Amino acid sequence: MNRKLILIITASLLFSYAEAQNRVWTFQQCLDTALQRNISMNQSRLNIELGKITLNLSKASRYPDVSASVRDNVGFGKSINQNTNEYIYETSNSASFGISSGMTIFNGFQISRTILQNKMDLDAVKTDLENIKNQVTLNITTAYLQVLFYYEILKTAKSQAEATAVQVDQTEKMVHAGKLPESNLFTIKSQQATDNLSVVNAQGQLDMARVTLEQLMEIPVEDGFEIQVPELAEPAILLEQTNKEIYSKALLVQPQIAGASIRTQSAMMGIRISESSRWPTINLSSGVNTNYSVYSGSRSSSNFIDDVWNNLGASIGLNLSIPIYSNRQIKSNIERAKVNARSAQLDEQNSKLQLRKTIEQSYTDLRNSIKKYEATQLQISAAELSYKNMERKYNVGMSTAIDYLIEKNNYFQAQSNVIQAKYDCVFKFKILDFYQGKPIQF
């Protein structure tokens, strides 16, 4: 029975491992895995937890604190009898018990303002998490598209190598038939070796792109890692929005802008908190206490509970503290808070400036990518016609191998240019959409 159980568990583990090895990852699965495993995101989540703890602590300062105390004391020699209030020379044992409470009634609104500031700080930390999420998303998008790009490059390289292999067979037959000189065969075989090397290089680039994606996902690198190849629509060739319109939308949705704005508000609240120290502080305190004493030379007719009850006392007090001079501490705190507020304002201004520059750069890059994509479309059309024409001539012995290979390599380069321009356009369109708050999907 145990042996059967072990076999079943082993088979299940092997099946699970094989399933993981054969898994084809979609873009969303890659992204979700990266967002879950990313260390920076997990650290940011911990910062949110710390922010919640700080906020709850500041809220608790509104309420009274309560503490209890117990003290036991043994005295020798001269002491005061706590029952008769007379001096005695006896060994004594006394105990005291008390419960005290206190709360701040007014301290210049520092408590309420601190709570507001901590709420702002917590909201700012939450935007940090969203900002890291955006960075991870962009990194995964870049790596995912790189894998797709090298998939197509490898496919094209294999297609070229297969076409060259066909031409090698064709050239061998023509050389044997005396229609072409043997030098043509040497030239074609040299090109075949070059094409095979291109396949190897493309495969290596694809493997490195996969490794990059796996590392961004924080998973172990596996040879069997594959991604789903989606059907990518042809990139749009028109920009429907201006960079100013994109920037205006990005200001409303980008977390780094919201976070910088919240931190500015928090810093301004810090000024008001530091100014509150100039106000008087009113504290309310109260307490209940009692004691119990026993002396070696006397006998008490009361018991412990009676003594504790008879000695029970209570107190309540109101304390007013007015700041007069604090060795410039209050003034320095206010000045420091104002400097921090100015620094936060500059950070917010810089965040907006960097976002504007990034969008303007991305917009310009996309516009140039569209022009490049249009040019490569024309290039590949012309290169394909020229290549097909030269191939027909070569197959009937009307052109040399060198002329044929020149046109063939031009066609291959045109194919590579189209693929590169296509993915460049797709990526830049996705980036501008992402800055406007649109999710990236494939």
Q: Which of 98, 238, 215 shows the shortest CA–CA distance to 146?
A: 215
Does residue 412 surpass a pLDDT of 60? Answer: yes
List the single range of 163-177, 344-358, 360-374, 417-431 with lowest mean pLDDT.
Answer: 163-177
Q: For 20-62+108-279+326-435, CATH number? A: 1.20.1600.10
With beta carbons less than 8 A apart as the criterion, state whether 262 and 127 touch.
yes
Place of tokens 């929005």: 241
Q: Please, what's the b/e burial string for 177-196 (b: 16 or more CB within 10 A of its CB; e: otherwise)? A: eeebeeebbebbbebbeebb
369 to 177, 289, 376: CA distances (angstroms): 49, 82, 10
Which segment, 67-81, 171-185, 244-258, is predicted with the most confidence on average?
A: 244-258
pLDDT at position 14: 44
Q: What is the pLDDT of residues 276-307, one digit of tens each?
A: 999 999 999 999 998 877 766 555 545 777 77
With beta carbons less than 8 A apart as the criterion, state whether 270 and 117 touch.
yes
Please name the residues in contact with 10: beta carbons below 8 A apart, sequence gap of 6 or more: none
Give the CA count within 13 Å in the CB-facing half-sphere of 345.
Answer: 8
CA 231 to chain centre: 29
Task: State the greatest distance between any 2 C-alpha atoms of the chain, in Å, as a whole number.
Answer: 139
What are 311's two structure tokens? 């000695």
Mean pLDDT in residue range 337-366: 95
The Cβ of residue 264 has, within 10 Å, a number of other Cβ atoms equal to 21
With beta carbons less than 8 A apart as the criterion, state whether 166 and 192 touch.
no
Helix (H, G, I), strand (E, B), or coil: what is residue 283? strand
pLDDT at position 266: 96
Helix (H, G, I), strand (E, B), or coil: what is residue 323? coil
pLDDT at position 27: 93
Does residue 6 surpass a pLDDT of 60? Answer: no
Q: What are the residue boundaries of the structural domains of the chain, listed by start?
A: 20-62+108-279+326-435, 70-106+282-322
Q: What is the pLDDT of residues 235-278, one digit of tens each?
A: 777 678 899 999 999 999 999 999 999 999 999 999 999 999 99
Q: What is the pLDDT of residues 188-243, one digit of tens each?
A: 899 899 999 999 999 999 999 999 999 999 999 888 899 998 887 777 776 788 99
The Cβ of residue 438 has, within 10 Å, a number of other Cβ atoms equal to 12
Whole-angstrom Cα distance, residue 123 to residue 109? 21
